[in-house]
Amino acid sequence: MSLMQKFLGGAAALALSASAALAEPALIYDLGGKFDKSFNEAAFNGAEKWAKETGGSYREIELQSEAQREQALRRFAEAGANPIVTTGFAIASTLDEVARDYPETKFVNIDGWLPEIPANVALISFQEHQGSYLVGMMAAMASKTNTVGFIGGMDIPLIRHFGCGYAQGAKAVNPDINIVANMTGTTPTAWNDPVKGSELAKAQISQGADVIYAAAGGTGVGVLQTAADEGILSIGVDSNQNHLHSGKVLTSMLKRVDVAVYNSMKAGTALETGGSTVLGLAEEGVGVAMDSHNAALVSDEMKAAVEAARAKIIAGELDVVSYYANDSCPALSF
């Protein structure tokens, strides 16, 4: 009996603390997990930056399964969190439904797409193909075997979008380059399977690849590890992953999820919703990571080429074809 009372007491205390903290922002991480050193970790870093600057606090949850998406959204909405920031495309359709039930709460989704955006939802997406184009150029310039690799996470249009930009960049430098592309899997577990990432990297290395770009969330950790072990170069994604294996990671394709999360939280309840924002090279939403860890790997020639291409893309002189345009890629077949 006393045990039961303790439980009830605990539950009551939890409920109290939940209602006391009104209008905190909330952050929902996608299935790759908060510390994937990539996409979700970037979101976490953005939220931490906001918390540090404003002294505020935020609520967060790491999803463990598909079924928790709606549960988590409703729980945060019921608890009065505002705005609720979600990462990953997969939650968008659930968000669409839930958002209509809580018109007072503002929701943000990063990477998602909806045919019709509810008035209280803001979608943020990135022009990953532009950033991938730049790292593709660097990969082709760094490759000595004339073969570069691409390892994607879950086989979805978004990841093909990454791969397509990368292939176009590589081909722009060297039209005869050989591009080996693999996807880790077709289910969300593909975001967190470093063992498979490792095996795929080994398979690509044996096919001659000497630079591998991993756009695979937590799976990429295995790819980068194997690349470092085997003495070839790798390219990180989303977060700056250059430091993971200093001197062995050519660069990282930055996708400033942290900035998106930070800005959303900073705007708070005054956030503009009902539309979608696209962040590209011009907005510095995507970019190439240069720091002390990869300084020795990046030649001046590479820097100049990347800068030139960057300027051209921003000016609209160079058009990197988006995979979304007609669901196919001119430079790579998956």
Partner 1 sequence: MEFLTILQVLDSTMRLATPLLLACLAGLYSERAGIFDIGLEGKMLAAALLSAAVAFSVGNVWIGMLAGIGASLVLSLIHGVASISFRGNQLISGVAINFLASGLTVLIAQDWFAQGGRTPSLVGAARFEPITLPGALTSVREISQAGPVMQIYSELLSGHTVIVYLALLLVPLTWWGLFRTRFGLRLRAVGENPAAVDTAGVSVKGMRFAAVMICGVLCGIAGAYLATALQAQFVKEMTAGRGFIALAALIFAKWRPVQALYACLLFGLLQAIAVRFQSFELGGITIPVQFMEALPYILTVVILAGFVGKAIPPRAGGEPYVKER
Q: Which residues bind partner 1 (CB under 8 A)?
A: 33-36, 62, 155, 182-183, 185-186, 192-196, 198-200, 202-203, 205-206, 208, 218, 221-222, 225, 244
Cβ proximity to partner 1: between 105 and 192 the closer is: 192
The nearest distance, CB 246 to partner 1, in angstroms, is 11
The nearest distance, CB 194 to partner 1, in angstroms, is 6
Cβ proximity to partner 1: between 64 and 269 the closer is: 64
Assess contact for 163 and 197: CB atoms under 8 A: no
The nearest distance, CB 199 to partner 1, in angstroms, is 5
Cβ neighbours for 197, distance < 8 A, ≥ 6 positions apart = 151, 184, 214, 216, 219, 220, 221, 222, 223, 226
The nearest distance, CB 204 to partner 1, in angstroms, is 10
Cβ proximity to partner 1: between 221 and 331 the closer is: 221
Encode burial over 263-297: b for 16+ CB neighbours within 10 A, e otherwise: bbbbbbeebebeeebebbbeeebbbbbbeebbeeb
Cβ proximity to partner 1: between 26 and 201 the closer is: 201
Q: Say how far apart CA 61 and CA 144 lie, in whole Å.
A: 44
For residue 121, what are the β-bridge partners? Answer: 107
The nearest distance, CB 173 to partner 1, in angstroms, is 22
Element (H, E) at 87: strand 84-87
4 CB-contact burial (10 Å; exposed 0-12 / middle 13-18 / buried 19+): exposed
CA dihedral 44, 50, 54, 57 (to 10 degrees): -30
In 3D space, the residue among 126, 130, 141 whose CA is nearest the CA of residue 165 turns out to be 130
Cβ proximity to partner 1: between 75 and 245 the closer is: 245
The nearest distance, CB 87 to partner 1, in angstroms, is 14
Cβ proximity to partner 1: between 222 and 287 the closer is: 222
